[in-house]
Amino acid sequence: MRGLTRFFPVLMWSVSILCPVLLKAQNSDAPKNVSNTYFLKNCTLVSQPGVINRGHSVIIRDGLIAETGPGVRQPFDAQVISCDSLYVYAGFIDPYSNTGITKPENKERPKAKDPGNPPSDVAGIMPDLNAATLFNPSDKSVEEMRSAGFGISHTLPHGLMLPGQSSIFLLGDGPADRMLVRTASAQNFQFEVSRGVYPSTIIGVMAKFRDLFKNASQGLAYEEKYKINPAGLPRPDQSRETKALYPVVSKSVPLYFLAQHTKDVHRAFAMKEELGFDMVLAEVRQGWHYADKIKAQNITTLLSLNIPEPEKKDSTAKTTDVSKEKESFEKKREESRQNYLTQASLFEKKGIRFAFSYKNVKTGDIHKNIRTLIKNGLSESYALAALTTHPATILGISSMAGTVEKGKIANLVITDKPIFDEKSRIKHVFVEGKKYDMASQSKKPEVTKEKADPISGTWSYTVETPETPQKGKIIISKSGEIYKVTVKDETNSATDYEGVDVSGKEKNKLSFYINTSLDGNVKVDFSLSFEDKLFTGSVNAGHLGSYEIKGEKVAKPEN
Amino acid sequence: MNNLRPNILSIKKLTFLGFLLAITPLYAQQVKKAEKAAILLRNATLHTVSRGTVSGDLLIRDGLIADIGTNLAIHSGTAVLDCSGKHVYPGFIDGGSKVGLAEIGSISVTNDFSELGDFIPHMKALTAVNPNSVSIPVTRVNGVTTVFAKPEGSTFPGTGALIDLFGYTPDQMSCGSERVVMQFPSTGRRGRWDRRSDEDIKKETEKALKNIDQVYESAIQYARIDSAAKADRQSWTTNNPQMEALLPVIRGQQPLFVEANSYTDITALLDWISNKKIKVVLTGASEGWRVADRIARAGIPVITGPVLSVPRRENDRYDAMYTNAGKMAGAGVKVAIRTDESENTRNLPFNAGFAAAYGMGTDEALRAITLTPAEIFGVQERYGSLDKGKVANLFVATGDPFEMKTRIEKLFIRGWDIPLESRHTLLYDEFLERTPGNQKK
Amino acid sequence: MIRNSKAKNLLLLICLPALAAAQDLLIKNASVLTVTKGNCQNCDILVTGGKIAEVGKGLRQPANVRVIDATGLYVMPGIIDAHSHIGIDVVNEGTNPVTAEVNVGDALNPLDVSIYRALAGGVTTSHAMHGSANAIGGQCQTIKHRYGTTNPDDLKMAGAPRTIKFALGENPIRTHGESNKIWPATRMGVEQVFRNAFSEARIYMKEWEDHKKGIRKSPPAYSLRMETLADILNGKILIHCHSYRADEILMLMNVLRDFGINKVCFQHVNEGFKVAPELAAFGATASVFADWWAYKFEVYYSTAYNAAILTRNGVVTSINSDSGELIRHLYHEAAKTQRYGDLTDEEALALITINPAIQLGIDKMVGSVEKGKDADLAIFKGHPLSVYAIPQMTIVDGIVRFDIKSDPDDVRVDVNPTEKYSTYFESLEDLDHNACMRGVSELLMQESHAQYLRYRYSKQHQH
């Protein structure tokens, strides 16, 4: 059972790498690239943050930057890109995201027989899983990140408390193995719990991690002793979870802590101080209380680009009875938002060499949000550093990436305006010398011409409940004009629902219900609204409460 | 402390003593019954509520306060209780509770306050009142003699009943005042886990408002047809108990008891009734203080509580619920206090005490659990104060009954002298000095 | 740049109470209710370095102290709640009948507004407990109500012994036996969960001992769970056990006796009054509700006279809240023992001060107004056992954390930057009457969504 599920992601991966190969074959009539040598002529070259050189040229050859400077001669075999009005930057480096890792389906897991002792994969304890074995260059996130200017991602598996090991990949479109820069470069920890099984809470997760870590510490020590002379000694523990943590114990790889909230940051520090490992704080949204501590202990920190949107003024309270209170409420809220927005500039002022992280931000918002941080005091050169040199240093790849310098890998971003200009567009991105042209915004290809039935199909759903969300699938099928709705929960037990009703101009609104005879009858009412590949809505169970439900279309429903 | 623990020797001693004194232990074994009182409470401090505090005598006879005055004559067959230094109060009235309808919280089959269905105003709480509920004696020994036992759980969950906490059948307990209750569509969140979008909440509320409008329109139609049928002496055969239950509300004979708590919901309720001819009592009103002036202008009485309750917004002041009743009263709203409790309805005087301390003042808080609810329930002629001719629901206390230290020494409901016993006191009597104590046998 | 400095000021503002140093105080001319050393009229209390330096009449006023005129006011020790769930993000890791290794101290939440609301009721210390979903639940954390800080560690009370939550009766039975079909499904099963856990821990200890002596070559697998159980057996962790019925209370005392454990505090212990002599003989203590009963079957045969009967039988008793509501008026809860059982003022006040301090093992530091103890003080207008009492000021370690005279309307430390104005909650489950089973619903929700919802509803009335 456990072996199988462990094997499962690998299986998925091998299937997915088959797909792009097939696509390539079909596309073989496309024109071949004329030359892999490029001459970027007469650019505004921002070779590193704060160093702006006008009238410089760059030669790219064999995937590397062969030459830069004002007087560089154009090689005969080079394709020429006239850069007169363009800006050239080093390719951006993403030190923390799930780029290239296809999000696994909600695995139909059998109900744990004993919730107190679930198998490791159900519990979310997967430290031996490596992103390198999961990376899929044709996952849409790769192209999206590349289009945003990123040439390198340090990517981690999706998962729970110990989702697995990160690996560093180039964001080209070659086979995964070719794109791999470094494997098993970090171990990861998240305060994410498994629903209903141990550890089901953050206190469970923290206790379990201590347990694993201590076992790894003593296991490592024992293994060394055993290596010297095994005679008379029982064989060391061979458990994969434990062994996978040996590099963390020996500090040969860092442990990335996903720590968004101020309390998460505190808990991460607490674990570090107790157990002693090299820590990287990732996805920090609210870490300003710890700026001094981060600085003093020189903790590598990745700031989240998931920043709060401004709130519209509410119109709920109209009369004057409460206007004063409302005013102060809104003032306090805006002040709070300011803290989020000025965090990056505060960190800059403290001299903390942070980078950004991208696990929880929509790729399309990255540049917009960086601009917001700049408006709130972050300097442009520091912002650029957080995109390039800082993550290069953090990942230990600054000798090969992060700046536009001779000998470095040819990862470049070429824009029509300075990168942080509101109107700036990325024209080209180079990844290891390969040029990717960015389609202009208007020419986005239509995905489907035919207006299909917007709701039929299999959808995954998540119901927001007080603790962890409920997940499952909704299967909607149509025969004639009659719709049928089946809901499968996480344990894969299916229920057919009644009163299926489709409404809305585009036939994209769906409601259905079921009467359950629990200890008192309850009508559970769903009402969903579909848009493209997503739906939102609510589940209403009378006096038992009402919950938000959302979900997305499952690409390839398995049976 | 150790000498309090009886050992075998002291038990023997006790038995011996008991034998000598003949009857004390035997008495303890007997069930105490209420007795119809004919009693003169002599020289008491009478907290009349209606006429302030006076010193004098109070005569209970035939279930009523037969007389109040100084130096009242003693008739034959009338017992006399010297109440010098004692305080007499009218029995407390809880304007909203589940006593009698709920027995054990977690066991749903022992709870009868929530029937299935959203529009069921004909469900009568009085039917389900259990006169032998263990909670009833527990409640009344704290001076709470009367409660409004109310259904809940849906938009029109039923009709509640004002009951006295003594009697062996619901009819014996009934005060003859029943009221249809309604939950006004709520825009509040049910808890932190309630993640509905604001828009969803808005939609749901609008739908629910439409529903109640529909109910109201239908009820008016029903009342019209019913009146027409009666006027023409037509026989109108129908079976619509829901609508039938709403008739007194529609005809303005009774107020509708509407539960609304948040600022938004209360204002929506005030809007809703502004163009309707029905009378309304606002119940709950946790955020009544935010709209106090408007409630006062609308002339709507309020039954609020529990006072001992957490503020409902994170940015609320810590004392938001303590001060609510006082703020509303201060703005001119007629305010009664309830516990909204079941087994701990006995805490009514303490809820009033907190309201008193946090701005309402003791007199107003006392009124909020006596005469004001009597008025709201339309029984002020018979309940709520110490006045000649009123039902003899009253108690004798050693002092201010809001104070925990105060002892209630005598309790009358409808002129019955009620033993001050409950499961809680009986267990105390039995276990304070347990026999056998700490021995194996 | 202007924006930045504004933001900086804001940061300062938010951090201010946390950074506030203990200022020396002289509380003058108060009625001091020391609890352990009687009452003192027209008395002064000098606070230096966060400690009570002196208590007495007409104390000399040193330079640089803040003088608090308490004429006409009462000063009592800061109130201590031996059972609460405020200030923590997690209550129950209820997945396994034994989860001794988890610790709610890992999930402290200093941003919880409930802490301020407790301060406004004079409560300076509380015992943030794991829930009651499992027989051996997690470790608890004694916290001081230093509201204003954002650092969870600031809440921890230094020097407070480690404590752990056990639970008997309906809650563990329902969580494990009824919904997961594993022991315990009865009170018999609950007993064996304890016996088994302690026996396993003994084996574990023996294995490590053997390893250390060199008898066993390889180290045994490390288990934080067993380590914790071993610490209980070694007397390093105090047991606080959720319990209701007399039989189960006796059961646990028998188990503990068999395993050589001689300290236990029973929590709730609604039927403690029935076995008060046995509790006293064991030396067990009891932390009870003032008057909660009938919310489930195992508390149907309860009495509000519980605290009085226990006290009179020589059991060290406290009154607790287990609720974000009751914690705001524990002084009132304690006063109920005067109606239900005639406790004296001193006895009643002890229920929420020195007695819970004893139960938490912190009575050397807090729980009474005595020289050398932490300056945790609550100042009341009106006697604290009167229903008209109004807390005026609450001091923790010499720092004024609540002052009715400068009490802002909105005291949130952490403000959600996208929260709509202003969320009204019909009910606040985590502030209200079901704290002990908070977070367990997940477990019971394996079957269907609706059942889960149903469960949530029903548990609003459980403790």
pLDDT mean across residues, chain B? 92
d(CA B130, CA B160): 14
Confidence tier at A273 by pLDDT (50, 70, 90): very high
Q: How far apart are the first and last CA of chain A?
A: 19
Question: What is each CA distance from A20 to A17, A27, A151, A483, in whole angstroms?
Answer: 6, 10, 19, 35
Kindly state the helix (H) or strand (E) to which residue A255 belongs, with its residue range. Answer: strand A255-258
pLDDT of A466 reads: 58
Cis, peptide link before residue B373, omega less than 30° from 0: no
d(CA A98, CA A153): 9
pLDDT at C444 over 60: no
Confidence tier at A521 by pLDDT (50, 70, 90): low
Q: A528 or B90, which is more confident?
A: B90
Q: B92-383 domain in CATH 3.20.20.140?
A: yes
Give the closest residue to A357 by CA, choosing from A437, A431, A285.
Answer: A285
Dihedral over Cα of B196, B202, B203, B207: its sign: positive
Confidence tier at A508 by pLDDT (50, 70, 90): confident
pLDDT at A74 over 90: yes
Fold (topology level) of A33-91+402-438: Urease, subunit C; domain 1 (2.30.40)
Confidence tier at C441 by pLDDT (50, 70, 90): low
The pair of structure tokens assigned to C276 is 């008060």
Task: Give the residue on C whose Cα is nearest the Cα of B365.
Answer: C388
Complex ipTM over 0.85: yes
Confidence tier at A309 by pLDDT (50, 70, 90): confident
pLDDT at B319 over 90: yes
Mean pLDDT of C205-229: 96
User: Minimum mean pLDDT among A366-375, B16-25, C18-27: which range?
Assistant: B16-25
| Segments making up each domain of chain B, as ranges | 92-383
pLDDT of A51 reads: 96
Q: Does residue C353 sit in helix, strand or coil?
A: coil
Measure in Å the smallest separation between the Cα of B196 and chain A Cα atoms: 5
pLDDT mean across residues, chain A? 86
Strand pairing report for B144-149 and B158-164: antiparallel
- Chain A residues within an 8 Å CB radius of B154: 543
pLDDT of B7 reads: 44
Contact A316 B264 (CB under 8 A): yes
Confidence tier at A15 by pLDDT (50, 70, 90): very low
Dihedral over Cα of C420, C426, C430, C432: its sign: positive
How buried is residue A347: exposed, middle or buried, by Cβ count under 10 Å (0-12/13-18/19+)? Answer: buried
Contact B318 C120 (CB under 8 A): yes
pLDDT at A66 over 80: yes
Share of residues in chain C with pLDDT > 90 (%): 83
We find that the CATH architecture of domain A457-553 is: Beta Barrel (2.40)
Within 10 Å of residue A534's Cβ, how many Cβ atoms? 12
Task: Give the residue on B whose Cα is nearest the Cα of A522.
Answer: B116
pLDDT at B115 over 60: yes
- Chain A residues within an 8 Å CB radius of B198: 316
The shortest CB-CB distance from A548 to any of B153, B195, B291 is to B195
pLDDT in tens, A341-365: 999 999 999 999 999 999 999 999 9
Question: What is each CA distance from C122 to A122, B34, C52, C154, C331, in whole angstroms?
Answer: 45, 43, 17, 19, 8
Q: B265 or B20, which is more confident?
A: B265
- Chain B residues within an 8 Å CB radius of C427: 190-191
- Chain A residues within an 8 Å CB radius of B204: 540, 546
Contact B116 A329 (CB under 8 A): no
Q: C165 or A20, which is more confident?
A: C165
pLDDT of C6 reads: 43
pLDDT of A19 reads: 37
Q: Does C87 touch chain A (CB under 8 A)?
A: no
The pair of structure tokens assigned to B129 is 């009142």
Give the closest residue to C376 by CA, choosing from C41, C27, C82, C125.
Answer: C125
pLDDT of C21 reads: 61
Measure in Å the smallest separation between the Cα of B439 and chain C Cα atoms: 9
Confidence tier at A22 by pLDDT (50, 70, 90): very low
pLDDT in tens, A412-453: 999 999 999 999 999 999 999 999 999 765 444 444 444 467
pLDDT of A314 reads: 55
- Chain A residues within an 8 Å CB radius of C410: 328-329, 332
pLDDT at C399 over 80: yes
pLDDT in tens, A204-213: 999 999 999 9
Give the closest residue to A411 by CA, choosing from A402, A419, A399, A423.
Answer: A402
d(CA A220, CA A235): 12
Measure in Å the smallest separation between the Cα of B364 and chain C Cα atoms: 14
pLDDT mean across residues, chain C? 90
CATH of domain A202-309+328-399: 3.20.20.140
Confidence tier at B15 by pLDDT (50, 70, 90): very low
pLDDT at C284 over 50: yes
pLDDT in tens, A385-411: 999 999 999 999 999 999 999 999 999
Measure in Å the smallest separation between the Cα of C65 and chain B Cα atoms: 29
Q: A465 or B105, which is more confident?
A: B105
Same fold, A33-91+402-438 and A202-309+328-399: no
pLDDT of B178 reads: 98
pLDDT at B190 over 60: yes
Mean pLDDT of A223-235: 94
Contact B196 A519 (CB under 8 A): no
Q: Does B409 touch chain C (CB under 8 A)?
A: no
Among A114, A203, A307, the strongest candidate for a mutation testing the C interface, having the largest count of C CBs within 10 A, is: A203
User: Minimum mean pLDDT among A104-108, B46-50, B376-380: which range?
Assistant: A104-108
pLDDT at C10 over 50: no
pLDDT in tens, A310-341: 766 555 545 445 678 888 889 999 999 999 99
Give the closest residue to B289 by CA, choosing from B272, B307, B277.
Answer: B307
The shortest CB-CB distance from B310 to any of C295, C420, C431 is to C431
Contact C313 B350 (CB under 8 A): no
Share of residues in chain A with pLDDT > 90 (%): 64
Q: Which domains does chain C have, with CATH numbers?
A: 1-78+367-415 (2.30.40.10), 79-359 (3.20.20.140), 429-461 (no CATH)
Among B195, B206, B263, B264, the strongest candidate for a mutation testing the A interface, having the largest count of A CBs within 10 A, is: B195
pLDDT of C113 reads: 95
pLDDT of C208 reads: 98
Taking any CB pair shorter than 8 Å as contact, residues of chain B touching chain A are 108, 114, 116, 153-154, 190-198, 200, 204, 263-264, 267, 290-291, 293-294, 315
Q: Does B314 touch chain C (CB under 8 A)?
A: yes
Give the closest residue to C222 by CA, choosing from A241, A277, A211.
Answer: A211
Confidence tier at A534 by pLDDT (50, 70, 90): confident
- Chain A residues within an 8 Å CB radius of B197: 536, 538, 548
| Segments making up each domain of chain A, as ranges | 2-24+94-103+115-186, 33-91+402-438, 202-309+328-399, 457-553
pLDDT of A465 reads: 65
Q: C5 or C408, which is more confident?
A: C408
Contact B424 C305 (CB under 8 A): yes
Q: A530 or A67, which is more confident?
A: A67
d(CA B79, CA B65): 14
